[in-house]
Structure 1
Amino acid sequence: MKTNGNTAGSKHKVVTLREVAEAAGVSTSTVSRVLDDRMPPSHSPTAQRVREVAAALGYRRNTFASSLRRGQTATIGVLVPRLSDTVMALMYEAVGRAAKRLGYFTMVATTGDDPAEVQDAAHSLLSRNVDGLIISSSRRHDPLPQQLREQHVPHALVLRTDGISPSSVGDDEAGGYLATRHLIDLGHTDIAVLSGPLFTSTATGRLAGARKALREAGIESNPDWIIETGFGTESGAEAGEKLFAASARPTAVFAANDNLALGVMAAAHRYSLTIGTDIALVGYNDIPLSQHLPIPLTSVRTSFDQIAATALDLMLATTDDPHPIRKALPTLIPRQSSGSHSSVGIRF
């Protein structure tokens, strides 16, 4: 049996299918079939011998080349606004895990919140022949998904949706309702809502859920306490300053993501207000930091892995439904920040 003869410092030699076939005494097509991990594994003596020879020679299947022969690259492009946002980083990692299970590699591009940058990033990824796009940066009226639909580019929106393209999202309205209903059930009627940017479906959905809970409870919300914000910590701190500096301030705050809630915590500290006692606070997404804060944060949890796996299925699937939108149900995780010490999740 031949070996590849590699030594430290020598140039790596690429072992071909033909070399494996010659060493194993079988045809090249047999080797290709045995080593194709997309096929059910064969346990015949010939297949076992081919795998042993391939391992001894150091053969590695060239997924890129075989994908090109099928007109694919086994690569998926992922668009996120920024990876400094914990939620977007977690979402990208979840997409990467889901893609790996299906034999795909992911390539990420950050876009900020500028639609022109989103367009440029999408075109850049498509020029690298990705097999499709997973997009977490879309606005409700973003032109990119429409262009992708018209050009028949496989794609799915994740976390956010334009209401038309294939989308895998959390049920944001249900989550906003859960968060606000929790505060109402704890006895609060003076509730502020920090919505996030209303050009996103996440913000509009969570605000709609909050308004529904307030309306059902017969609570007329103070318009000064419904604040459109960004999604960053700084936006939460700025909104918290505005709320806590006023002569009449709320007793509870629903922040439409955990970064906003962290900003509210910082503002409360500056005004000598204790979270969980003076101010009840609920966030959204249940990022890992939430439960490890000095005052653990009550938050609405969505399953990033479930959302990512569904997005990949939508992007890769051929379906009779031209505009499928899948929603994952959220769970409320009560902690000390809302004045609740229970750790039992509450589902919608």
Structure 2
Amino acid sequence: MSLQKVSPGRATLAEIARDASVSMSTVSKVLNGRAGVSDAVRERIEGLLHSAGYSRRGTAYEQGKLIELVFDNIDSEWSLQIIRGVERVARENGLSVILTESGGHLSLSPDWIDGILRRQPVGVILLFSNLSIDHKRQLATRNIPFVVLDPAGDPDPDVASVGSANWAGGLAATRHLVELGHRRIAMVSGPLAMLCSRARLSGYRAALEEAGIPIDPTLVDAGEFHYEDGVAAGTRLLSRADRPTAIFAGNDLQAFGVYEAARMLGLVVPDDVSVVGYDDVPSASWMGPKLTTVHQPLIEMAEQATRLVLALRDDPHRKLVRIDLATSLVVRASTAPPRG
């Protein structure tokens, strides 16, 4: 079957239906994310809508009052900081925020896109996720822009993203420990499949190399960004005969876990082991001792991502950008010179 090309910017439902050899109601179902259309037909219609530059600008934007915020897991202070930043900008623009869970760090659950197409938010902010080519096309045909916040991997060139200077944060945390006189510095890393984890680890290694300290790979223990991983990794590291005198944790939750590991082993922070975290969540300043950590501007990152997704809504042809905000070290009571 040969398909007649529809003139970009001038498509009507009737033209799309004619070229796809389907009824107008079928095109409407695809456009509005409803069921009842086979995968093959849906794909053919999506392709025509995309190539034709089809736009629902006058309808979707008037009706849509939502920004969709997609997490892999909503279970920490980190998540609450992100929500706070998105809500602040959404409220300024008369919008509400809807939260959904994607089902994984690096990929979205299969039915996620169907919910998005039904709700038709004015924009989507993704945490730790990228989109498949098909998902990008489906969102583009409905003029639903998206921004990746704190990307898990290196975003595609056609993806706008907002992150932070993770390498610089890892460098600053480790430099601080080196400057205190530590030489056996361990790191509890986050998942190495995630870009932020690799960048923080690279910063840690760069600081050691800068100080002329040999890198001991046995002092790096990777896990998830969870409290339990900090307990497990901290226990392994601090049970060694040649235990480290300092530990840099990939996030504050892991650092709290290292605190617990030290306590169980009869060690005192920072007398026996200095600990540095990452993120600077509110409870970092409530711990005993208060946690030295790298401040990641989570609220500001979320605000920036929300403003960016709204700018893309208003100007779909806006140049896509990748923004990395600065991090800074917050020195508190969990770090001190090594004893002896």
Per-residue CA distance 1:249-299 (angstroms, 9 max, x = gap): 111111010000000000000111111111010001111111111210001
- Rounded to whole Å, the distance in 2 between the matches of 1:256 and 1:147 is 33
- Rounded to whole Å, the distance in 1 between the matches of 2:250 and 2:185 is 13
Alignment of 1:47-58 (within 5 A): none
Is 1:89 aligned with 2:80? yes
The alpha carbon displacement at 1:211 in A equals 1.3
Counterpart of 1:199? 193
Is 1:334 aligned with 2:305? no
The alpha carbon displacement at 1:234 in A equals 0.2
The alpha carbon displacement at 1:93 in A equals 2.1
Alignment of 1:1-348 (within 5 A): 68=59, 70-113=61-104, 117-138=108-129, 142=130, 144=131, 146-151=133-138, 152=140, 153-160=144-151, 162-164=154-156, 165-317=159-311, 318=315, 322-339=319-336
> Which TM-score applies when normalising by structure 1?
0.72
- Rounded to whole Å, the distance in 2 between the matches of 1:119 and 1:98 is 29
Question: How many residue pairs end up in the alignment?
Answer: 271
The alpha carbon displacement at 1:331 in A equals 1.2
- Rounded to whole Å, the distance in 2 between the matches of 1:320 and 1:177 is 37
Q: Percent identity?
A: 31
CA distance 1:315–1:335, change in 2 (3 Å): same
Per-residue CA distance 1:30-72 (angstroms, 9 max, x = gap): xxxxxxxxxxxxxxxxxxxxxxxxxxxxxxxxxxxxx857454
Counterpart of 1:54? none
The one-letter code matched in structure 2 to 1:194 is V
Residue range with higher mean Cα deviation, 82-91 or 255-264? 82-91
- Rounded to whole Å, the distance in 1 between the matches of 2:125 and 2:91 is 14
- Conservation of the 8 A alpha-carbon contact between 1:194 and 1:256: yes
> Which TM-score applies when normalising by structure 2?
0.74
- Conservation of the 8 A alpha-carbon contact between 1:79 and 1:121: no
- Rounded to whole Å, the distance in 2 between the matches of 1:330 and 1:113 is 26
CA distance 1:201–1:126, change in 2 (3 Å): farther
Higher relative contact order (CA 8 A, sep 6+): 2
The one-letter code matched in structure 2 to 1:303 is P
- Rounded to whole Å, the distance in 2 between the matches of 1:93 and 1:119 is 28
Q: Which has the larger Rg? A: 1
Q: Which runs of 5+ in 2 are unaligned?
A: 1-57
Counterpart of 1:44? none
- Rounded to whole Å, the distance in 2 between the matches of 1:97 and 1:249 is 45
- Conservation of the 8 A alpha-carbon contact between 1:76 and 1:105: yes
**Stretches (4+) displaced over 3 A:** 67-72, 114-119, 145-151, 318-323
CA distance 1:254–1:321, change in 2 (3 Å): farther
CA distance 1:247–1:295, change in 2 (3 Å): same
Per-residue CA distance 1:126-177 (angstroms, 9 max, x = gap): 3211122101132xxx4x2654444424100112253332111111111111
Residue range with higher mean Cα deviation, 153-162 or 297-306? 153-162
